[in-house]
Amino acid sequence: MTALPPCYPANSRLDEHGDLIVGGCSVTELCREFGTPVYIVDEQGARERARDYRAAFESRHPDSEVIFASKAFPCTAIYRLFAEEGLSCDVATRGELFLALAGGVDPARIHVHGNAKDDADVAAAVEAGVGCVVIDSFDDIDRLERLVPDRQRVLLRVNPEVQADTHESVLTGHSTSKFGLRRALALRAIERLRASDRLELIGLHTHVGSQILEVEPLTMAVDALADLGDFPVYDLGGGLGIPYRSTDTAPSLDAYADALVSAVHRGLGTDVRVLVEPGRSLIGTSGVTAYHVVSVKRDVVVHVAVNGGMGDNLEVSLYGTEFEARVLARRDATERCQVVGKHCESGDVLVRDAELPSPVIGDVLVTPATGAYCYTLANNYNAQPRPPVVSCREGDARLVVRRETYDDLLRRDVPAAAVPTA
């Protein structure tokens, strides 16, 4: 067996034939059984990562809580997995709340986010008995005070006005962000919440963005909370980045925990509860996506077309995320290839300038680090059914989300006979 770089699942190896083994299962065999494209999850690796997260923070600050940022992979099997590992979860929509409850998450351990909660969102959260609602605006306060029958614990999201180095679409803590309240408004909201007889303000929340590859912006956000008053709870959000390619580097979990906890102890005190919300860094590298090569066009460039693309991985065209690819075959000759999808869009490129072992039709091609946001952003562009999710552990492969069918594409259509004629 050959060890793989950190962008691949923790429990993955290459065998002597060049096949990728994930969670004890052959990816080539999984493709035969479940078809392609297919999302494959290293279940044990995800569990180990959850345990590592808890250990990293609890060892440095015993009163810590790790919260799964579920928008990274909103699937009932993943909700259940992290709940079994002792994690709480956050949800940003009624749909995520519905899935979390269906996945067996204790409502008391659910944190509700969102910058545009409507009455139905708030009512659903209250009815479910969620543990905490994160206030993002004065409108949130109005709705909660009107709809909460008794008392509701809340956090106030503060905009720290910190600029991090990441894609602008996943940047959330800068001064013009749609999320949270800047200092002057935050102070007004704190005063109002402390006077409320329906809402119990337990602390502050902050978040600067996603795929952050330096710890400094994360600690700066902690520092921004220091002069807003004393609170028993501080939610520091998430944002830790991951390696998407073999050549990528990212801060270690220990370095991340060291930086955050040190910043808390320095500016907020030692007798507080610390919450963190990992998503991408919790599940991202535990997933891979497998495809079959369906066409190879050798001309000015070599286009290797697979039977998926931006329908199952929108991260490339939406955020400019750079992935790598691996063909599961041993060949001496290699060539530089553009790995493209099957969608009618020139931007449907999965991997640029990949050095691959002379791909041929029928090859299995894998992209690592697809455990976060690829399933989340899966879509039906060109009326393509969305892929299944297969969870692998100790040689056992389990289908946890079935492949979408063509009948599913029709399921929401209103039959012609039901449409009134003019």
**What pLDDT digit, counting tens, does each position of 17-40 carry?**
999 999 999 999 999 999 999 999
Average pLDDT over residues 39-51: 98
**Number of alpha carbons in the 13 Å side-chain half-sphere of residue 246:** 9
Residue 375 has pLDDT above 90, yes or no: yes
Tens-place pLDDT, residues 261-275: 999 999 999 999 999
High-pLDDT (> 90) share of the chain, %: 86
Residue 385 has a pLDDT of 98
High-pLDDT (> 70) share of the chain, %: 95
Tell me how crowded residue 269 is: count the other CB atoms within 10 A of its CB.
13
Tens-place pLDDT, residues 167-209: 444 445 456 678 789 889 999 999 999 999 999 999 999 998 8
Which pairs count as long-range contacts for 230-233, CB under 8 Å and 24+ apart, including other chains?
Answer: 230/269, 231/201, 231/202, 231/203, 231/204, 231/272, 232/202, 232/203, 232/272, 232/273, 233/155, 233/202, 233/203, 233/204, 233/272, 233/273, 233/275
Residue 165 has pLDDT above 90, yes or no: no
Residue 2 has pLDDT above 70, yes or no: no
Residue 248 has a pLDDT of 96
Residue 169 has a pLDDT of 43
**C-alpha to C-alpha distances, 290 to 36, 109, 196, 287, nearest whole angstrom:** 6, 34, 52, 10
Tens-place pLDDT, residues 392-402: 999 999 999 99
Please tell me which residue in 89, 344, 374, 392 is annotated as part of the active site: 344
Residue 1 has a pLDDT of 59
Residue 422 has a pLDDT of 64
37 preceded by a cis bond (ω within 30 of 0): yes
Q: All domains of the chain, ordered by start, with CATH? A: 12-42+285-410 (2.40.37.10), 44-281 (3.20.20.10)
190, 156 in Cβ contact below 8 A? Answer: yes
Residue 3 has a pLDDT of 75
Residue 161 has a pLDDT of 76
Residue 259 has a pLDDT of 95
Residue 164 has pLDDT above 70, yes or no: no
Structure tokens belonging to residue 36: 């392609």
137, 170 in Cβ contact below 8 A? Answer: no
Tens-place pLDDT, residues 285-330: 999 999 999 999 999 999 999 999 999 999 999 989 999 999 999 8
286, 10 in Cβ contact below 8 A? Answer: yes
310, 320 in Cβ contact below 8 A? Answer: no
The crossing angle, in degrees rounded to 10, of helices 138-147 and 119-128 is 50
What pTM does this model have? Answer: 0.94
Residue 159 has pLDDT above 50, yes or no: yes
Residue 278 has pLDDT above 80, yes or no: yes
**Number of alpha carbons in the 13 Å side-chain half-sphere of residue 379:** 12
How does the average pLDDT of the chain come out, rounded? 94
> Is 75 a catalytic site residue?
no
Average pLDDT over residues 71-95: 98
